[in-house]
Amino acid sequence: MIDLISLIEEQIDLNTLEELKKAFLRADRDESGQLDLEEFKALLKARLNLRVTKEAQIEALFKKIDWSYNGGITWDEFCTYMQLEYAEKEDSYLRSKEVEFLLPAKITSPPHRDPILRMTSNTDGSFLACSQDGTVTFWGMSGNELKWKRKKEIVNTETMSRTKPKWITDFVIMPEYNKFIVGTGATNTDECIIVFGDSQGCINILVIKNPGESLRLWKKEKRHQGFIPSISLDQIIEKHRAMFIRWQVHKDWVQQLKYYHDIKMIISCSNDRDTALVKGCIMGSSHRSQEIAEYQQSMIRQQNAGKKDSKDPQDKAKLRQMLAVPKPRQSSDQAVFQVYKGVKCFDFCKDKNIIVTGGMDRIVRLWNPYVNLKPTAMLRGHNAPIFYLMIAKEENRIFSISTDRCIKIWDIQDHNCLMTVREKGHAIRGDIQACHYSIISKSLAIATDNMCLLQLRQKPTLHRDITVTHKEPVTCCKYNACFNYVITCSEGSVIKIWDFETGTAIFEYGEAHGDSAITCMTFDNTERRLITGARDGVLNIWNYNNGHCLRKLQKSKGNDEICDVVYVEMNKNRYIISVGWDKRINIYSDSQTDSNIHQVQHPNIVWADDLKNGHKEDILSIAQCQPNLLATAGYDGEIVVWNMVSGHIFCKLHGKSSVSKLVFMSERAYNKGAASLISNGPDGHILFWKVFEGGSLLADFPGTSTEGALISTMTINEANTMLCVADNLGFVFVYNVDGYALSGYEEEPPELVNTWRGHVDSISCIELVEKNKVIMTASIDCTVRLWNYEGNYIGTFGQPEQWDLYNTSTFCHPMVPYDVLIDPMSLPSHPVLKEGSKTDDLLEEIKKKEDETAKIQPAYTSYAKPQINIDDETIARDIKDLNGILKDTGLDEEQAKNYHGKWLRHEKTKIKKIDKGGPSDYQTLKWFKIVDPPNPDFPKVKFDKDDPFGSGMDPEMMTNSLKSFTNKQQAVS
């Protein structure tokens, strides 16, 4: 279907629209003013050259346009459908690209004294800022605010105050070596380059071999005027074998430059028109490169010969000339992009293959890096010079900031502005000094006189391994047999259409009820129109294939939330009946010839018995049974069965608590002795009701196996033999109700055929598609899933992999949804845990006996051993008595042995404490730094040369001591 509509859209433009209209009129052979199905097929086949295999798609398109089921479509209807579908697709596409900042910005005072010259981010999403006075600050995220963590001075301010002040002009992080440096780009594992621009428009390049060792030696250099260890260019070239290259690239000072390792190029920009942006190589192919190489080889030969420094005046002069007189690259070594008024900032992305530039002319330009004649796009909208640009390739966006503090976000693919935030919105004041966008933390940091943070609003997402159908909780879903579609609705007022057989998304439209959540939906009798109800108290009738709202149904006043809706056809009349918080039954006539189409329609039928004897509390559910029965259930547990012909109450059934779901068993609805109405009840129970003879309860049984779970929704097959139930914990239960409660009260519950857990949260809707033997469940965990009757998992609508309902190998089974798998509620119960009560009682009895024995036995001190007088007969008697089990339990000897053995097995196999992650006890111990104790003052002992151990003890005294010790050991023995 998507291919067919795309073919039509491709052929429609202003020039061909008139021709298509003439062809449309020629196809109307009977001159009725509209085309029937056969005429419509002939038109599209002739215009689009379609094969016979496309006839099914043409028929489906005809049904979508002919929503009123008239059997024909006019030219106006055809154009309206195509225009609305295109508009809704555009809105859906733009909605997927929505972006929003948390406003206003969070502002923090920084510890910097001078203006911040540049900012960057670390791999963990934190920010680093450096000011002109050499103060570096590290900032972390705390919620949606920036928090200053620590500060480092890279310049000695005391020494600097006594000398000529020095300003830092730029910096960049060198993470491979944990260094700060003016500009860098790694080329190989043992080589890097340092790149910097100057006020003469030159690009200066240092190619360093073995950078780790070189940077270590630089750190040992002398400090110069209070700075961190410094080294001159000639020392770098002479001592550390670094190659220095200087190119004359721009005619104005260099505004920004960067080396990109992916393309092995340096990109730089300036405000000069003719050399606005230049992309060039490092070495080049000119004679200049050969001179550099020769000089470098000469320096290496001198160092290998043992000369630490070159003393040759010619070498010194050559070096000074290289540093002072730059030469231009050849035209083949660089690409020059000319921009009016030059380029102040740029960014490059190899994955997207674009360069984006901005400058004084306030235009954001997108370039193909290999085509410098003309930009691929020009994005207009800024009213001041552009100060900062950033490509966020993962988000397919461009961030731009102008000097008037206007922030814009652009879409790379469509070249349209997604968001604009001006000064009044973000409340950032002062001149912008530096800014940086962190892809990791999704936040933009801006430095003025303060540090300001703008964080993108992130919509809540589930685990990365969990597929979601909607971004918001799903409230209802329906299968449409006419088009073989599945329609789902969410609390975000979004309606989505899915292909039932593959699970792929076909169409969606949002703001169906503004900001109000959709609570219920149904189809008309032809299934070509969708009817939705919402919390705003309004019913909308849709041509859901193109998102066209055909009609609105609402009360003239008191529009409370709508909880449920049904479509009723009775005596060739069609009605839409809704119930909700207004405690009334609202009936709307559905007539295709109604004059108020496209307008608001009010209820035109009111039952007097409803006003007088109807519900006294909110009505939560409604169910209809042909030809004339209607049942409604209220918050107070009252169920009312109505005769739709007369509008009178047929019977009243009184439940024990709130009833939120009703299901009619239509096959036995008029069997006066059988249960024909099913409702949920308190404590997860399911109730079967007889509606004739005043109504009575025929069955009441627990529908869930989990304590505390409540039935959230139910459905039954057409033959009324299989009841599907779902609860608020995400479990699904399938019961065999064939013949159940057919002739009287049932004491036992029906047969439970199957049960499984499908979601981690409450299931809001459950649907049966009997022709494919499939069960569809929707949940407030934002997912809609398919299962077969055995509970095997087919898939989740929205997953990247398609399924084929006629090929079981495409099902996700035997896998289960990841969120269900990891949820603790999904763990099966262990048989040992079921016997825990008996074990606990036994252990309690043993402890009680031990306590009683302890009271009788005398207390002994720790210095005396108890005298235990137990003879062999006592031991034999105790063993035979099995620790008193014979007497306490009343079992015989053989039973007691088995009982005692079961207790021992339980003690051996009982579940031990499982480590479920987190820090261990060892990791939570506090640690303290060990401090070396002070040197003790050892006593001065007289040294005896005859004492080999230097103990200072008199030899005679030592001999006597040893003899005394030996005598004591012998006495002990």
Give the mean pLDDT of 562-582: 92
DSSP code of 172? E
Highest mean pLDDT among 78-92, 219-233, 530-544: 530-544
Displacement of CA 220 from its chain's centroid (Å):
49
- The most confident of the ranges 665-679, 754-768, 951-965 is 754-768
Question: Which is more confidently placed, 344 or 97?
Answer: 344
Residue 85 is predicted with a pLDDT of 72
**CA 903, chain centre distance (Å):** 49
Which alpha helices (H) appear in 34-156, and where do they start and end? Answer: 37-48, 55-65, 75-96
Residue 795 has pLDDT above 90, yes or no: yes
**524 found inside a domain:** no
* pLDDT at residue 312 tops 60: no
The pLDDT, as a whole number, for residue 947 is 46
Higher local confidence (pLDDT), 560 or 17: 560
Q: Pick from 133-137, 305-309, 449-453, 786-790 the range whose average pLDDT is largest.
A: 786-790
Query: Stretch 37-46: mean pLDDT, rounded?
Result: 79
What average pLDDT does the segment 221-238 reach? 68
Phi, psi of 646 (to 5 degrees): -95, -20
- Give the rounded percent of residues in the chain with a pLDDT score beyond 70: 70
Same domain, 322 and 223: yes
**Is 322 found in the same domain as 198?**
yes
Q: What pLDDT sits at residue 705?
A: 79
CATH number of the domain residue 74 falls in: 1.10.238.10
> Do 79 and 195 share a structural domain?
no
Give the span between the Cα atoms of 650 and 635, in whole angstroms.
20
Q: Pick from 70, 101, 132: which residue ends a domain? A: 101
Domain range spanning residue 244? 184-254+282-295+318-327
Please check the confidence at residue 267 and state whether its pLDDT lies above 50.
Answer: yes
In a domain, 405, yes or no: no
Assigned domain for 750 exists: no
Residue 51's pLDDT is 62
Share of the chain above pLDDT 90, in %: 38
Both 197 and 290 in one domain: the answer is yes
Amino acid identity, position 820: V
Question: Of 683-692, 795-804, 810-819, 885-894, where does mean pLDDT reach its minimum?
Answer: 885-894
Q: How confident is the model at residue 294 (pLDDT cuts 50, 70, 90)?
A: low
pLDDT on residue 909:
36
pLDDT confidence of residue 871: 54
pLDDT at 250: 94
Closest CA to 199 of 231, 173, 169: 169
On the question of pLDDT at 360 being above 90, the answer is yes
Compare 159 and 511 and report the one with higher pLDDT.
511
Distance CA 172, CA 185 (A): 10
Average pLDDT over residues 445-469: 79
Torsion sign over Cα 543, 523, 576, 525: positive
Q: Are 263 and 286 contacting, i.e. CB atoms less than 8 angstroms apart?
A: no
Asked if the structure places residue 25 within a domain, the reply is yes
Based on the structure, what is the number of domains in the chain? 2
Whether 945 shows a pLDDT value over 50: the answer reads no
- What does the pLDDT read at residue 968? 54
- Of 45, 72, 101, which residue is a domain's last? 101
Q: Is the pLDDT of residue 626 over 60?
A: yes
Q: How confident is the model at residue 708 (pLDDT cuts 50, 70, 90)?
A: confident
What does R_g of the chain's alpha carbons equal in angstroms?
A: 42
Q: Which two tokens stand for residue 128?
A: 């680093």
pLDDT at 158: 52
pLDDT of residue 877: 57
Whether pLDDT at 860 is above 90: no
Q: What integer is the mean pLDDT of 10-28? A: 71
Q: Environment class of residue 870 by beta-carbon count within 10 Å: exposed (0-12), middle (13-18) or buried (19+)?
A: exposed
Burial of 113 by CB count in 10 Å (0-12 exposed, 13-18 middle, 19+ buried)? exposed
* Three-class HEC string of 360-402: CCCEEEEEECCECCCCCEEEECCCCCEEEEEEECCCCEEEEEE
Q: Are strands 518-523 and 662-664 parallel, antiparallel or unpaired?
A: unpaired
Q: What is the pLDDT of residue 715?
A: 96
Query: Residue 826: which residues within 8 A CB-CB, separation 6 or more?
Result: 757, 820
Res 741 pLDDT > 70: yes
Give the span between the Cα atoms of 564 and 576, in whole angstroms: 11
- For residue 490, is it within any domain? no
The answer to whether residue 192 sits within a structural domain is yes
Please tell me the predicted confidence (pLDDT) of residue 36: 84
What amino acid occupies position 93? Y
Query: Cα angle vertex 460, ends 457, 462, to 5°?
Result: 145
Contacts of 669 (CB under 8 A, 6+ apart): 625, 629, 676, 691
Q: Omega into 933 within 30° of 0, i.e. cis? A: no
Mean pLDDT of the chain: 79
Give me 457's structure tokens.
């609003």
> Is residue 807 domain-resident?
no
Q: Which residue is it, tokens 């000469």?
A: 298
Mean pLDDT confidence for 863-867: 39
Return the pLDDT at 59. 80
pLDDT bucket at 718, cuts 50 / 70 / 90: very high
The residue among 644, 666, 669 whose CA lies nearest residue 570 is 644
Once rounded to an integer, what is the mean pLDDT over residues 577-595? 84
Q: b/e for 16-39, b at 16 or more Cβ within 10 A?
A: eeeebeeebeebbeeeeebbbbeb
91 and 225 part of one domain: no
Kindly report which listed range (197-206, 302-311, 363-372) carries the lowest average pLDDT score: 302-311
Are 77 and 189 members of one domain? no
Q: Find the helix or strand (DSSP H, E) in which 638 lies.
A: strand 638-643
Measured CA angle at 623 (ends 621, 629), to 5 deg: 135
Is residue 235 pLDDT above 50, yes or no? yes
- What does the pLDDT read at residue 168? 67
Q: Are residues 96 and 229 in the same domain?
A: no
**Other C-beta atoms within 10 Å of 107: how many?**
18
Residue reference for tokens 């529009």:
559
Task: State the Cα–Cα distance between residues 343 and 341, nearest whole angstrom.
Answer: 7
Of 6-15, 90-99, 650-659, the poorest mean pLDDT is in 6-15
List, in sequence order, every residue forming a beta bridge with 690; answer none if it has no partner.
Answer: 696
The answer on pLDDT for 135 being more than 60 is yes
Mean pLDDT value of segment 145-154: 79
Count other C-beta atoms under 10 Å from residue 825's C-beta.
Answer: 12
**Looking at the predicted structure, is the pLDDT value of residue 46 above 90?**
no
The per-residue pLDDT for 45 is 75
Distance of CA 722 to the CA centre of its chain: 37
Between 447 and 297, name the one with better pLDDT: 447
Q: What pLDDT score was predicted for residue 186? A: 57
Does residue 498 surpass a pLDDT of 90? yes
pLDDT for residue 193 is more than 60: yes
Q: Residue 866: what pLDDT?
A: 39
Element (H, E) at 622: strand 619-625
Whether 530 maps to a domain, the answer reads no
Confidence (pLDDT) at 899: 44
Last residue of some domain: 72, 101, 130? 101
For residues 962 and 953, the answer to whether their CB atoms sit within 8 Å is no
Beta pairing partners, 409: 399, 419
In this prediction, residue 952 has a pLDDT band, given cuts at 50, 70 and 90, of very low
Neighbours of 232 (CB within 10 A): 12
How confident is the model over 509-521, as pLDDT tens digits?
888 999 899 999 9
Are 94 and 194 in a shared domain?
A: no
**Angstrom distances, CA of residue 171 to CA of 129, 130, 180, 218:** 9, 8, 7, 17
